[in-house]
Amino acid sequence: MNPRKTNRSKTISFAGAGAVASALAGLLRENGYRIGEIVSRDNAVSRRRAAALARRTGASAATWSTARLDCDILWLAVPDAAIEKLARELANDMTQRRELPPVVLHPSGALSSAALSALARRGVRTASAHPMMTFVAGEPPSLEGAWFALEGDPAAVRAARAMARSLGARSFLVRQENKTLYHAFGAMLSPMLTAELAAAGEVGVKAGIGRRELRRIMEPIVLRTVENLLRRGPDSALSGPLVRGDVATVAAHLKALGRSPESRVYRALTEYAIQKLPGKRKPEMKNLLRGGS
């Protein structure tokens, strides 16, 4: 049996209609799942977003006062700061009027399943299921080949793993106490990498490269560097003056960068490379960064 054909009779609903909810709901619908409800807060902006996502996924738009929650799995795809509060409200309020879904998940990378503990105490199977992927406006989402970090009740983890598999993604388990470090790992892989490349781009502009050409010039070296690192590891992927021990070149870079914000980025990355990656004349490099001659 094709593993991507399993569990598609399940109905999945979403709390929230932001970037992650939109991506997951759309991809699950494309892969044969039924999307039940898109539940939002009762204000005009939230209702409008929920209605748009519901139309796109064949779901019903609802607010918390009208939601039926007649689904197999409910994703709490709301901002991190709202997850625990919403779980408490579901556990304390909504059990008075309707049954809760048997499985509730949240996609936060920073929070563990403990944020859903109020629901777990009611007998709901809960887990965190974070897709290790970047979601940005205007880019069609895909989770093919991506990884989900899973943690929580075994039954909820199995349900999340089945969904990931249906999307062409893979999954791994992360310990509850390690979720914050795991999320820092993800932050360094995407948003902080973006920030570093943005800083590099600004240096390129200061060097006289036009902004229209900038990204085309950056693309080949960035892609080859990432490819080398992933295939061969950081020690083999590192190149340039740090590997050669070219102290004079690094000193010239620092002088040209001056007191710019990009200089602080350069210094921080150089310091880390000296500590953790191979290179020559490390004591002299360290002395240079400390301001020595």
User: Residue 101 in 3-state DSSP?
Assistant: coil
CB atoms within 10 A of CB 108: 22
Which residue, 185, 180, 279, 195, is CA-closest to 234? Answer: 279
Which residue, 165, 170, 163, 129, is CA-closest to 33? Answer: 163
Phi first, then psi: what are they for 85, rounded to 5°? -65, -45
CA distance 157 to 104: 10
Longest alpha-carbon distance in the chain: 74
CB atoms within 10 A of CB 261: 10
Distance of CA 185 to the CA centre of its chain: 10
Cβ-contact 274, 281 below 8 angstroms: no
Q: How many residues in total does the chain contain?
A: 293
CA distance 218 to 229: 17
pLDDT of residue 95: 58
Cβ-contact 242, 285 below 8 angstroms: yes
What is the pLDDT averaged over residues 202-211?
97
Tokens representing 212 are 């229209």
User: How does pLDDT run across 33-79, given as a tens digit for each residue?
Assistant: 999 999 999 999 999 999 999 999 999 999 998 999 999 999 999 99
Q: What is the mean pLDDT of the chain?
A: 93
Strands 147-152 and 125-131: antiparallel
Which residues, other chains included, contact 39 with Cβ-Cβ below 8 Å and sequence gap of 6+?
13, 14, 15, 16, 50, 62, 63, 64, 67, 69
What is the pLDDT averaged over residues 173-192?
96
pLDDT of residue 124: 95
Reported confidence tier of residue 173, pLDDT bands at 50, 70, 90: very high
Asked if residue 1 has pLDDT above 80, the reply is no
What is the pLDDT averaged over residues 160-186?
97
pLDDT of residue 135: 84
pLDDT of residue 100: 87
pLDDT of residue 93: 76
- Per cent of the chain over pLDDT 90 is 88
If you search the block for the tokens 């690192």, which residue do you land on?
229
pLDDT of residue 260: 97
Whether this prediction's pTM lies above 0.85 is answered by yes
CA distance 197 to 115: 34
User: How does pLDDT run across 210-258, given as a tens digit for each residue?
Assistant: 999 999 999 999 999 999 999 999 999 999 999 999 999 999 999 999 9
CA distance 180 to 112: 8
- Per-residue DSSP letter, 65: T
Phi first, then psi: what are they for 34, rounded to 5°? -95, 125
User: How does pLDDT run across 74-103, given as a tens digit for each residue?
Assistant: 999 999 999 999 999 999 876 566 678 999
Asked if residue 15 has pLDDT above 70, the reply is yes
Tell me the chain's radius of gyration from C-alpha atoms: 24
Reported confidence tier of residue 292, pLDDT bands at 50, 70, 90: low
